[in-house]
Amino acid sequence: MTQIGLFPLDLVLVPTERIPLNIFEERYKELIGESLERDEEFGIVLMRGSGDMHHVGTRAAISEVLEVLPDGRMHIVVEGGDRFRVLEVDHQRPFATGTVEELTDEDEPPDPADVDRTLETYRQIRETLGTPGEPPDRESPLLAFELIARVDFSTANKQELLELTSPRLRFVRLAVLLERALEALVIEQDLRQRAHGNGKVTPFDRDNR
């Protein structure tokens, strides 16, 4: 168990993911300043609607400082590391700190068929969007999170995937979410093409009713 500073946000950071952050509140200027000075990670946790925080989060390492303004505000880029579970929260400092333990996966490897299904659906999404680049390495031990980091899932879905400790179940769920995303993307593009063609959108073809 260790203690780290916590940064509650309305977003989910997953392992391997890189995101930009704008730091403007005094308490978080202090947190990030300490993290930079000590070369330490801090924890990003998702805020609940009730105002408290989820108990599973991700360690964040500051990979780049883009800008430091005269008033101390900062624009930084962080990268997701290990996941953790918050055991206890302390509010004695300006920012919350948490006693945390590493969240480790169970010995339940994914079904190769689910991995193939997930990669194929991801390939189809990229093809539909016309997005260039190579997919993650199939043999990467963090393949699921690398895929999650590249898709704009809702915070609820990302948090669900983050908290799963079974690699098998994570790939099963990820495959379902990617297939839903592909289906929605295809429908959206079809509607746009119809609207572009005649200025009207017809939700369903009469012949297919």
d(CA 116, CA 102): 29
* CA distances to 150, 186, 188 from 202, in Å: 32, 15, 12
Predicted model pTM: 0.88
Total domains in the fold of the chain: 2
Q: Give the pLDDT confidence score for residue 1 in this predicted structure.
A: 82
Domain termination residue (choose one: 72, 102, 132): 102
Same domain, 97 and 121: no
Asked if 152 and 118 sit in the same domain, the reply is: yes
Query: Half-sphere exposure of residue 78, counting CA atoms within 13 Å on the CB side?
Result: 27
Owning domain of residue 89:
2-102
Buried b (16+ CB within 10 A) or exposed e, 1-19: eeebbbbbbeebbbbbbeb
Q: What is residue 198's predicted lDDT score, i.e. its pLDDT? A: 56
Please provide the average confidence, as pLDDT, over all residues in the chain: 91
Would you say residue 77 lies in a domain?
yes
* Contact (CB, 8 A) for 28 and 97: no
Q: Tell me the C-alpha distance between 12 and 10, whole Å.
A: 7
Whether residue 122 has pLDDT greater than 90: yes
Tell me the average pLDDT across 185-197: 77
Residues 128 and 183 reside in one and the same domain: yes
Pair (6, 98) in one structural domain: yes
Which residues fall within 8 angstroms of residue 170, CB to CB, at 6 or more apart?
110, 144, 161, 164
Alpha helices by DSSP H, listed for the chain, are 26-38, 112-129, 143-149, 155-163, 167-198
Q: What is the pLDDT of residue 46?
A: 98
pLDDT higher than threshold 80 for residue 194? no
Q: Enter the tokens of residue 152.
A: 């704009």
pLDDT at 189 over 90: no
pLDDT digits (tens, 9 = 90+) for 50-88: 888 999 999 999 999 999 999 999 999 999 999 999 999
Give the number of other Cβ atoms within 10 Å of residue 56's Cβ: 19
Q: Are residues 63 and 89 in the same domain?
A: yes
Residues 6+ apart with CB under 8 A from 182: 121, 124, 125, 128
Q: What three-state secondary structure class fits 106?
A: coil
pLDDT tens readout for residues 123-146? 999 999 888 778 899 999 999 999
- Are residues 57 and 81 part of one domain? yes
| 16 plus 83 within the same structural domain | yes
Domain of 10, CATH number, reads 2.30.130.40
State which of 102, 122, 151 marks the end of a domain: 102
Is the distance from CB of 158 to CB of 144 less than 8 angstroms? no
The answer to whether 160 touches 173, Cβ cutoff 8 Å, is yes
- Residues 96 and 159 placed together within one structural domain of the fold: no
Do 75 and 128 sit in the same domain of this protein? no
For the cut 50, the answer to whether the pLDDT of residue 31 exceeds it is yes
Same domain membership, residue 166 and residue 84: no
Residue carrying the six token digits 């101390």: 72
